[in-house]
Amino acid sequence: METLYCARDIGLAAGLRYVYIGNVAEEANTACPGCGRVLVRRRGYWIAANRVREGRCPDCGTGIAGVWDDA
């Protein structure tokens, strides 16, 4: 896990906007690149919460790349 966290930090420092550690038992979240609040909370292979609405952060309005189902 230490290596994965290090790789994530390198990606974020390089300017990547949506870096998370996936497919692990630990929690792996995606944060808004605008305000830093958690948008997608994951637990292992499952999405526990998805706060993205109409492709935007509900807190600051930053557009979030991807295809989002608001259902």
Domain that holds residue 28: 2-50
Structural contact between residues 39 and 52, judged by C-beta atoms closer than 8 angstroms: yes
Question: Which residue has better confidence, 30 or 71?
Answer: 30
Assign residue 54 a region (left: φ > 0; alpha: ψ between -120 and 50; beta: otherwise). left
Structural contact between residues 2 and 8, judged by C-beta atoms closer than 8 angstroms: no
64, part of any domain: no
46, part of any domain: yes
Structural contact between residues 33 and 18, judged by C-beta atoms closer than 8 angstroms: yes
Q: Please tell me the pTM assigned to this model.
A: 0.70
- Model confidence pLDDT, tens digit, residues 25-60: 776 788 999 999 999 988 777 888 999 999 999 999
Instruction: Name the DSSP class of 12.
Output: H
The Cα-based distances of 9 to 2, 3, 35 in angstroms read 11, 10, 17
68, part of any domain: no
35, part of any domain: yes
Domain count, the chain: 1
The predicted model gives 17-27 an average pLDDT of 77
61, part of any domain: no
